[in-house]
Amino acid sequence: MVNQVNPAGAEIGVIGGSGFYSFLDDVTEVQVDTPYGSPSDSLFLGEVAGRRVAFLPRHGRGHHLPPHRINYRANLWALRSVGVRQVLAPCAVGGLRPEYGPGTLLVPDQLVDRTKSRVGTFFDGLPLPDGAVPNVVHVSLADPYCPVGREVALAAARGRDWEPVDGGTLTVIEGPRFSTRAESLWYRAQGWSVVGMTGHPEAALARELELCYTSLALVTDLDAGAETGEGVSHEEVLQVFAANVDRMRGVLFDAVAALPPGGTRDCLCTKALGGMDPGFELP
């Protein structure tokens, strides 16, 4: 049930991560309910370069939701229900290699799911409140991120003199604790690049709704296996994110402006369901 929707809606969604709780100054706050419950917070609708944007703080204002308690399905559903088709998703991550120090921006092209307790699909066979029953649908996640969104994000970062790491694997752990040193060394030995706690199931759920999804991973610390000190602290993560949040906002502004206009998307994300009947109406 939608309590109140701005008729102008939005075409681009930004999901703000740790340390990133607001995006635009001039916003309309909209509360959206979904068949899966409430999203992390209100949606904040505004405009960047003539493009309608919906911002959603992933952990809620004030960061009250730990990664494993986030209602990822409600978040993606809510964004799509106001018209969003392309999502930019900044997140805080730990670097698995010494060269990926704090302040590194990595635009991953792969992810590994190491989470344990999250609902990762809309196609769970359980009826929705309106009685619709999702069909059994298996989408491809071989390439989990939007290729167009990735190029846009990379160009936006370069345009702000922030040379990004182009590609790499985002390892998503359950959290909320950080990795042990052995876990971190193992991730690194697999050739994975960074560690976060929210990239899954966010990317998979976006794909199931045929949304374009692009992750912008800001390294806030070196993960336990890549540093020699005491390990990561939450304060450290927030401090580094705060120091980089204006830079990240600038990159996102430019990326929003450069994303393909609504209706012109032609990437793999738009064909995720390949004509399969999901058994319910996409919002």
Q: Note the residues at the interface with Zn ion (CB under 5 A).
A: 146, 212, 267, 269
Judge whether 18 is annotated as a binding position: yes
Q: At closest approach, how far in Å is the CB of 14 from Zn ion?
A: 15
Write down the least CB distance from residue 262 to Zn ion, Å.
12
Residue among 54 and 146 whose Cβ is closer to Zn ion: 146
DSSP 26: S
Q: Which is nearer to Zn ion, 195 or 203 (CB)?
A: 203
* Token duo for residue 188: 């690194």
Instruction: Judge whether 197 is annotated as a binding position.
Output: yes
Tell which residue, 126, 134, 113, 112, has the closest CA to residue 68. 113
Report whether 215 contacts 145 (CB < 8 A).
yes
Determine whether the annotation assigns residue 198 to a binding site.
yes
Per-residue CA distances from 213 to 64, 89, 200, 271 (Å): 24, 7, 12, 13
Q: Parallel, antiparallel, or unpaired for β 212-222 and 105-107?
A: antiparallel
- CB of 211: closest distance to Zn ion in angstroms? 8
Instruction: For tokens 């999250």, name the residue.
Output: 118
* Residue 233 annotated in ligand binding: no
Q: Kindly tell me which of 71 and 270 has the beta carbon lying closer to Zn ion.
A: 270
Annotated binding-site residue? 254 = no
Taking the C-alpha atoms of residue 282 and residue 278, their distance in angstroms, rounded to an integer, is 8
1 is in an annotated binding site: no
For CA atoms 231, 166, 156, 170, give the dihedral sign: negative
Closest CA to 215 of 70, 91, 72, 94: 91
Nearer Cβ to Zn ion (128/267): 267
174, burial (CB in 10 Å: exposed 0-12, middle 13-18, buried 19+): middle
Residue 223 assigned as binding residue: yes
Task: Kindly list the catalytic residues.
Answer: 221, 223
CB of residue 148 vs Zn ion: minimum separation in angstroms?
5
To which H or E segment does residue 43 belong? strand 43-48
Question: CB of residue 201 vs Zn ion: minimum separation in angstroms?
Answer: 18
Of residues 139 and 212, the one with the C-beta less far from Zn ion: 212
Residue 153 or 269 with smaller CB distance to Zn ion: 269
**Residue 248 tokens, joined:** 């990240």
Which residues lie across from 34 on neighbouring strands?
37
Closest distance of CB 171 from Zn ion, Å: 22
SS3 percent helix, strand, coil of the chain, rounded to 5, is 25, 25, 50
CB atoms within 10 A of CB 142: 7
| Amino acid at site 50 | G
Residues making up the annotated binding site for phosphate are 18, 58-59, 198
Residues making up the annotated binding site for substrate are 197, 221-223
